[in-house]
Amino acid sequence: MSKQKNISNIRNIGIMAHIDAGKTTVTERILYYTGKSYKIGEVHDGEAVMDWMQDEQDRGITITSAVTTCVWHQSVIQIIDTPGHVDFTVEVERALRVLDGAIGVFCAVGGVEPQSETVWRQADRYSVPRMAFINKMDRIGANFFAAVDSMVEKLGANPVVIQLPMGAEDRFRGVIDLVDMQQVCWDDESLGADFTISDIDPEFEELAQEYRERLLEAISEQDDEIMELYLGEQEIPRQDLVKAIRKATIERKIVPVLCGSALKNKGIQPLLNAVELFLPSPKDVPPIMGIHPETGEELEFLPEKNAPLAALIFKVSMIEGRKLSFARIYSGKIDAGSEVFNPALNKTEKLSRLLKMHANKRERIDQATAGDIIGLVGLKDSGTGDTLCSPKFPVFLEKMEYEAPVISIAIEPKTHADQEKIDSVLEKFMIEDPTLKVSRDEETGQTILSGMGELHLEIIISRMLKEFNTKVNVGSPQVVYREVITSPARGEAVFEREITGKAHYAKVAIRLLPLERGAGVTFTSEVTQEQIPEQYVAAIETGIRESLDGGFLKGYPLVDVGIVLADGGFEEGKSSELSFSVCASMACKNALNIAAMALLEPIMSVEVFVPDAYMGDAISDLNGRGGKVESINPKAGIQVVKAVVPLSKMFGYSTAIRSATQGRGTFTMQFSAFDKV
């Protein structure tokens, strides 16, 4: 990459979709046609460049988001290929946080599928401009227009068709470009590298004119200059139309729609052209905002090389035991060997190397500047979500939020050698994956792994064996419950004890109040400085919160409870933070002893896709699992059943649905809410 690269020519994009819509295949073709790969890697052969992890190749799915850089015409395109499986949505979340634009890949047969809805909503949350690529136009049942309609119906998007397919299924041979009013046909002999651009065939002329009108109408609604030309029936210059489409895309008013078949090597070059023309550079999106760590004032960081440094670590990978941090530089520059400041840890760290990433291959570089997505080696303590900046201009960029785990398994090492390795291996996984939690069951001595779903935990176990040669016995999955109180309760305690020759004293009275679902744990104090000096109140809060974490009924965390510090007493010279923390914990246990309590269990939102013939079996199976069917919608030969089901009843469901539908049924599941058992 040239040293004089222009930030306006950078495109930071993600490729996102439902599992199996063809994201990784699209990315592989992009790498081939931009000259990054000398051959095309196929997911089904386990040779995709971006699916470099052993488990990804074995299963044919993407698990971690991979980063790569390629060049197309004048543009440097930095791509993050994200997973489509619901258990790995954290990977999508992290990628969207640092991207400027995204391509939503949809299957021409399935249209908008459940997981593509989830990632689309995530992109909405981060205000990411998007384009859509309707893939698999060569498949039986491909219907471009139905897929576009499903974007309106399910995503509430405003899709604007800028390309039409020439034929469908086995007759799909190319695309019609409605901006230039030309057709593009690919040569199968050259693996799609060669294509011809020509006038539109007479058989498609009428359809092309109709959709060109629709395109101009949609753009004129967003752009006054185009509106004037359109209403005056004047010729609209190409550059004006492109500019207007670009502006409306970046402002998220429209979603340009393209189509093709990545597997059959058709449609990728025009997609790259569209990325260059319509998706934003770092200069086209609002500058990143941050907070000054001490004053709390809001700061703006411009995407310029000479501005103060602001970079965000969005992912950490442990590759061959070494820590590699992925960062997006929003502002300023970073040099290899330089020092960066982490305000969250209040410490400076030294970078030993900077890397330009290409999936799991990497190239050393001396400097990276605003707009770059790079790998950093040498950061010892900085983790996912941390900000890197200059000590002279400290800033916090917005942290990422993650959902709590909903499923747990118990693991035990198989041999003494595995026992020694297990803790360090799990520590590496936790550094990589903020949704994985590890705890210890004191009664059984087992290690408890908690994650986002069965597949998530299955892959962690598989990686322990393949990457670190650590063998474990695995217990059956357990649901992570929560505890709540259902009535107010009061508790008090006096702590008076001599510890190592020193007298300790504290008196605490608290009230616990039930709060509505999802309210979390709140703390308020009603005591005066005379009852309890202010320096002890934080210790009281800590003591109670730690007490609630350990649960009461079954040892699960207590949630949705309001803590009120109602009364207390202290003695000069005898009271300390320790005495108040212990006393508060005792008062909390006394309150819970008399409180009415209940267990909450995770309820999952499930979508089941079954052929019409197996509908009855699928519904009776869901009913047998205590599920509530919310809706049934027919869709191209299958029925889509939406239901809510307790997670505890969903173990082994993938096997059950396959056997009930002769392998033709599929489902997706994600956490919905906690509810009383």
Q: What pLDDT is recorded for position 131?
A: 96
Residue 595 has pLDDT above 80, yes or no: yes
Mean per-residue pLDDT, 508-513:
95
pLDDT tens by residue, 310-354: 999 888 877 666 778 889 999 999 999 999 999 988 999 999 889
Q: What pLDDT is recorded for position 490?
A: 95
pLDDT tens by residue, 171-182: 999 999 999 999
pLDDT tens by residue, 210-265: 999 999 999 999 999 999 999 998 999 999 999 999 999 999 999 999 999 988 88
Average pLDDT, the chain: 84
Beta bridge partners of 266: 261
Residue 3 has pLDDT above 70, yes or no: no
Q: What pLDDT is recorded for position 393?
A: 92
Q: What angle do CA 529, 532, 533 make, to 5 degrees?
A: 60
Q: What pLDDT is recorded for position 138?
A: 92
Question: Using CA atoms, how far apart are residues 176 and 190, in angstroms rounded to an integer?
Answer: 20
- When pLDDT is cut at 50, 70 and 90, the band that residue 88 belongs to is low
Residue 499 has pLDDT above 90, yes or no: no
Residue 90 has pLDDT above 70, yes or no: no
Q: Please give the model's pTM, rounded to 2 decimal places.
A: 0.67
Q: What pLDDT is recorded for position 332?
A: 94
Q: What angle do CA 233, 238, 243 make, to 5 degrees?
A: 105
In angstroms, what CA-CA distances link 411 with 218, 454, 602? 57, 14, 22
Question: Using CA atoms, how far apart are residues 675 and 627, in angstroms rounded to an integer?
Answer: 13
pLDDT tens by residue, 539-580: 999 999 999 988 888 888 899 999 999 999 999 888 889 999
pLDDT tens by residue, 444-486: 667 888 887 777 788 788 888 887 888 888 877 677 788 999 9
* Residue 124, helix vs strand vs coil: helix
Q: Between 156 and 636, name the one with better pLDDT.
A: 156
Mean per-residue pLDDT, 581-607:
91
Residue 431 has pLDDT above 90, yes or no: no
Q: What pLDDT is recorded for position 294?
A: 86
Question: 């239901």: which residue's tokens?
Answer: 643
